[in-house]
Amino acid sequence: MSKILIREQAIKLRLEGKTYGQIKRELGIPKTTLSDWLKNLSLSQKQYKLLLENRQNSRDLATEKYRLTRANQRQTRLRKILDYQAKTLIPLSEKEIFLAGAFLYWGEGEKTHGVISISNTDPKIMKFALYWMTTSLKIPKEQIKARLHLYKDMNSESEIEFWSEILELPKSQFKKPYIKKSNREGLTYKSFGHGTCRLYIGSVYQSETVAMSIKAISDYCGAENELFWYN
């Protein structure tokens, strides 16, 4: 069984209320690996009760109580930070939203003349990318195209359905996926499990606007250099 499938099985068992010790014994994987996979997985009160019912020994229970206490402390801390940051940063001005998108494009955008294109595996990043393209760049949503990069053992239709629903973008705007010759199974790196989504549109004006905006920021920060992708 590939690591991806083992990880999915571990998450499933955890949500069923299994302890780390039980999952380790069932799947034969180290607790350090489990901790890495499951540390950010939130459990409901019902699932916590299942943990208590499923305990096999006091050592398992003590470990789970410690993990849950730490997880609750972390979630409480993060909620406080989120509340503070939301009050401090939100709402964003039009300029700030444009700059956020420009920095995203600088890192993740396709450096091609005449094209606005952003790709990522993270649905939240792609939702923001679409928001930025439609609000800051004033690109009509119906003109934006999408294309997925998938592995050959992934279901193209279900992945298009996933991204279409997440982005609220009609499936008619999705082009035929690019299918890699390799399988997703067996890969050990972390991803969001739905391939890479690319949003793009051909627009010389918008492409030049974004590129020169990034160059202006770069020059202002002292990174002026003749080597720039849009020269």
For residue 8, what pLDDT is reported?
83
What sign results for the dihedral spanned by CA atoms 118, 122, 123, 129? negative
Among 118, 95, 122, CA closest to 107: 118
> Is the per-residue pLDDT at 23 higher than 80?
yes
Residue 216 vs residue 69, higher pLDDT? 216
Q: How sure is the predictor about 227, in pLDDT bands with cuts at 50, 70 and 90?
A: low
Convert the pLDDT of each residue in 157-189 to its tens digit.
999 999 999 999 999 999 999 998 887 765 544
Confidence (pLDDT) at 153: 85
Domain boundaries of the chain, sorted by first residue: 3-88, 94-220
Per-residue pLDDT at 198 exceeds 90: yes
Check residue 203 and give its pLDDT.
Answer: 93
Dihedrals φ, ψ of 179, to 5°?
Answer: -105, 120
Distances (CA, A) of 217 to 113, 118, 133, 211, 214: 19, 19, 19, 10, 5
- Residue 217 to residue 196: CA distance in whole angstroms: 28
pLDDT of the residue at 188: 45
